[in-house]
Chain A
Amino acid sequence: MQLWGFALEFRAYIIRRLALVVPVLFGVSLLVFALLQMFSPVERAALYVTDPKQFANITEIIEKYGLNDPLWVQYGNWISQIFHGNLGWSKVVSLPVTDAILNFLPATLELAIFATPLIILGGIFLGSKAAAHKDKAVDHITRAGAIMGWSLPTFWLGLMLLMIFYGFFSGLFPPERLSTAMNIVVHSEAFTQYTGLHFLDAILNGNWQVLGDSLRHLFLPVITLTVVQLAFIMRLMRSSMLESLGKGYILTARAKGLDENTVVSKHARRNALIPVLTIAGYIFALLVNGVVITETIFNYKGLGWWAWQSAIHLDIPSVLAFALFNGILFVLTNLVVDLLYAKIDPRVRLGGQAA
């Protein structure tokens, strides 16, 4: 009986939460469309121009895509183009925007695959360590480290790392994704690109040289991406852990004679993790912000590098498509996080906002 009620209630929550996503996604598309409207019809026609020669027929293109129509008609046209997978033309890489995104996604995924676990596990470990030893040396060091890490400009950190590990230790950890020689190997007939993730493809192909080279190139960008956000989670985990350590159930656990290790890792840390989960969506946003800067510094050709190139070349369709893509992804990430949260913490789905 109880279980039945639980399932119903959880389903009601999911439906409520899903219903919220639709207006937000609509709003996200409206906002991007509004930014697009800051340009003249001629400039907006550039969305669909794949070859400079087409500029001769610019009026036809404006006519064809109805760029002088009333706004709501234009919005309809624009959104239906997007649903058909046409996000415009990226002149920086001479590819349709959709292809460009798919092309650059693996490189960025590769960064995220290494950075995310480091950020989350490292942050949780250091944060709870600091809280468990409040006001001891460990706490002071991690705290000072967190404040300093959080104040570091990502772009400066990356450049300093390059200066030391690429300059001073000549070429130890180079920029870009692969060395020229390995790039040729990767694009040769003998090497199958299963996923586009170089390190994974290298393992699947059994090519250890490519693997080593790929990891060497990943090292600095991953560190750059990690440091700032690690500091953020560490700080959050510390205060969440401190709060959890002050709760009654910790007193109970101690009173019944559990050793300190069990109290900290089994009782306090698990409960302290719940607030950290709620900001998982925010971590995603930080990661995306960081990726643009990191990839720019290291000339690491992924989504962020492409967005930067598009931005400085005033390639409007690409920049807006990138914003739209990340907006949608962010909304969906938050949706998943909320659902997970509701599953873990029953107060959320019972009380709505009250919890």
Chain B
Amino acid sequence: MMGLRFVLYQLKKNPLSIIGVAILITFIIIAILAPFIAPPPEGHYDRYMIPRDGFSPTPQPPSEEHIFGTTEGQYDIFYGVIWGTRSAFQVGLIVIGVVLVIGILLGSLSGYFGGIIDEIIMRITDIFLAFPALILAMAITVALGPSLKSVMLALITVSWPPYARLIRGDILVVREEDYVEASRGIGSSHLRIITRHILPNSIYPTLIMASLDIGAVVLAAAALSFLGLGAPEGYADWGQMINFSRNWIVGPPGDPLAYWYTVTIPGIFIFLFVMGWNLLGDSFRDILDPRLARR
């Protein structure tokens, strides 16, 4: 087991991970301060719906009123990307949170009890892992009816199996430790053994994997939104904002880059958000894999 302090110390030594942390902290601040950075207009019924300035289909370039310009249908890009940060964190945290609960629950059952329970749970994970994840998520979203909630449910459904497997593997190792045997010897209940002795000593890699998966989950959700299966029209969601730009990739003759802002700005937000998690993830991997770090 590796102490948290050691991990933090190693992180501080690596410039890439510092960049990653800085990017993520910036996004956290944006998400928290969203109501002040991009205040919703008076009487706006839902803060997550991007305010519109008219209904003209042609995007408008950045101006004083709309500093990042507007998309088709006159949705304000600045408002969308700022509140989209909140949506991104929400999707990432909710999906990963639920996935963790399911994964830990099934993984512990599987690893601790073994036998037929283990066999059944592992065969179920086999089935879910037998599909390319995004394809299965797409089918589930369509089956549930396209919406942001369906996208999250679909991502939860396709994301839990690797977690159940990871935690099962780590529990199989810890299960044989002397302190577990000792606790069993003094007559502790299964629940107590799992929650007090096994999980605290085996959950660490899973938690790290989970925190780093947030970027990937947000990317997948954005992809589904981009395909038109996610958030309702006008919802502050990066993937959807890029979908809005699809018809405006090439400008009028003579000015091919006229609408650059519609695709570039929301894309940079997704890219930086995901890269923040990946930078952090890469350094975690190096720290946790001492075989590589030593050289």
Contact = CB atoms under 8 A, between A and B. Distances in A.
Contacts of B239: 153, 155
B114 to A, nearest CB: 14
B227 interface: yes
Given A23-B123, A293-B226, A153 B257 contact: no
Given A30-B127, A293-B227, A285 B292 contact: no
B130 A312 contact: no
A349 to B, nearest CB: 20
Contact of A153 (B138, B267, B282): B267
Interface string B262-277: 0110010011001100
A11 interface: no
Interface string B239-283: 100100110011100001100100110010011001100110010
Interface in A283-324: 284-286, 288-289, 292-293, 296-297, 307-308, 311-312, 314, 316, 319-320, 322-323
B4 interface: no
A152 interface: yes
B229 interface: yes
A153 B278 contact: no
Contact of B291 (A170, A243, A289, A320): A243
Given A156-B271, A162-B250, A151 B278 contact: yes
A188 B120 CA distance: 56
Contacts of A245: 295
B139 A320 contact: yes
Interface of B, secondary structure class, is helix
A243 B256 contact: no
Nearest to B266: A156
Interface residues of B, number: 53
A251 to B, nearest CB: 13
Interface in A6-32: 23-25, 27-28, 30-32
A330 B267 contact: no
Looking at chain A's contact residues, the main secondary structure is helix
A147 B278 contact: yes
A193 interface: no
- Lowest 8 A-B CB distances belong to which pairs? A27-B127, A167-B256, A151-B275, A156-B267, A285-B132, A167-B250, A289-B134, A323-B139
Given A167-B251, A293-B226, 14 more contacts: A27-B123, A134-B295, A151-B215, A151-B219, A152-B271, A153-B271, A156-B267, A156-B270, A239-B289, A285-B131, A319-B138, A326-B132, A326-B135, A327-B130
26 contacts: A23-B126, A24-B126, A24-B130, A28-B131, A30-B127, A39-B143, A147-B278, A147-B279, A151-B274, A151-B278, A153-B222, A153-B274, A155-B222, A155-B223, A159-B267, A162-B249, A163-B249, A163-B250, A163-B263, A167-B249, A246-B295, A314-B146, A319-B139, A320-B139, A326-B131, A330-B132
Interface of A: 23-25, 27-28, 30-32, 35-36, 38-39, 134, 143-144, 147-148, 150-156, 159-160, 162-163, 166-168, 170, 239, 242-243, 245-246, 284-286, 288-289, 292-293, 296-297, 307-308, 311-312, 314, 316, 319-320, 322-323, 326-327, 330-331, 334
Interface of B: 16, 123-124, 126-128, 130-136, 138-144, 146, 215, 219, 222-223, 226-229, 239, 242, 245-246, 249-251, 256-257, 260, 263-264, 267, 270-271, 274-275, 278-279, 282, 289, 291-292, 295
